Amino acid sequence: MSVSKEGIESIVQKAQEAFVAISKISLAKRVAFMRNVASEIEALGPELISTAQQESSLPEGRLVGEKGRTIFQWRSYADAVERGDSLDISIDTANAERTPPKPDIRKTNVGLGPVTVFGASNFPFAFSTAGGDTAGAIAAGCSVIVKAHPGHPKTSQIMADAILSAVAKSDFPEGTFSHVFCETNEEAQLLVSNPLIKAVGFTGSYRGGKALMDVAASRPEPIPVYAEMGSVNPVFILPAKLKDSAVELAKQYVGSLTLGVGQFCTNPGLAIGVQSPELDEFIATFQAEIEKAIPAPMLNAGIAKAYVSNKEKLVSQSGVDVAAVAVAEAAEGCGAPTVATALGVDFLINDALQEEVFGPFALIVKCKDEAEMLAVTEKLHGQLTATLLATGEDLAANAELVSTIQSKCGRIIFNNFPTGVEVCKAMHHGGPFPSSSNVKFTSVGSDSIKRFVRPLSFQNWPDEFLPEELKTSNPLGIWRTVNNELTKAAVAN
């Protein structure tokens, strides 16, 4: 059910009141709340999986795994809060003997305020209502308003009910979490333009993310939009590796490309190599594997229609040849795996060739030599990932290429494929614009909490009135940087 402008204003006001209340709640209680959310999701029965299957066409095994991932996100982020990771504590003690005297300064991170999260289509659990953006914002000490994704409304409501149950059981304030259905873009934009909203989390298309960024930037008080957007995730196939295993690499590539009907933000939609007999062998194997691939249902009719439209637009470009399409007929709503080829010279003069086609589609760019391969790399837009299929010999011989690739992506992968995104502190799931709106931040892993905090320094404050994490005795037992040394010890008097 849609919500009116007045209804949105009321929801945001309650979120603001909840945020003020949350700022006075102990970290330990916040950690317990997050663990309660995980337990509530874990306790959800078969209805969750069957509902998500009906709404998304995703298979049971994939959804069971994604449910586990979502539970792990909440628990691992809670662990990070308990460790004080996202607080990034720094303490510099006073020195009265210095001229002028040095004050006592102690810095922590605090929540930004109410956060709007836009649910994603392709991960109904892990990147949607109860996904990483929601978990990260709650971990930061923020209240959250989720705009439910229209592709899986019943699934979203089940997850929202689980979070609301945890809110009640944890004795957190009303307004800590809200769940909103919007029917128009104008309604959704109110969740960005309202002056009480302090940040936005988004996973989806470039068009959608950029629209939210523009709304946020035009406010009297601009706010950050942490948007993860389109990426073609280029794969660079270097000569020595290609000589060793052209057939094997092509089969592995197609497996990654068609996984989940290509509906991952890290789907490898672009391959780049230098023309050679080995590249011809790679392409021939790729074609054969694509032809054998079975079309499968996409997330919804809109995404299936967009896949066909975007694919047709790209393959109609000058210099692009369709190399292979799955032989089995694609029923309505299904995505037919497809591979096309283009020369490096055509790629260099046509930006349309690096547009994302969300689905099981790949473009193979054939460069005439290493210099053209480097030029193609320099032409690339920002990417979430880039993959090198290479030997040590290849890396040593292509140092400039490797350096250029690093400047284009948030995660660089060696002899593997990018479709798995591990939830861990070392993961960076973001990249240079337009793959994400802010290259400095990740949307996966406990470091994603840092998107929703701001630094606050306390100068010369009485110890009894400091936040727990800044007190001299370190009652939380967390790691802190004290006078430039990392320690769990109490601050020396």
Residues labelled as active-site residues? 228, 265
* Count of H-run helices and E-run strands, the chain: 15, 19
How many CB atoms lie under 10 A from the CB of residue 284? 15
The answer to whether 117 touches 134, Cβ cutoff 8 Å, is yes
Reported residue count of the chain is 493
Dump the DSSP string for 177-191. Answer: EEEEB-SSHHHHHHH
Give the whole-angstrom CA distance, residue 296 versus residue 288.
18
Q: Which of 339, 312, 335, 308 is nearest to 324 (CA)?
A: 339
Distance CA 35, CA 28 (A): 11
Read off the tokens for 77. 């982020």
- State how beta strands 383-389 and 338-343 pair: unpaired
Alpha carbons 39 and 443: distance in angstroms, whole number: 22
Token representation of residue 124: 């109904």
Phi/psi of residue 349, nearest 5 degrees: -105, 5
**What DSSP element (H or E) covers 271?**
strand 270-274
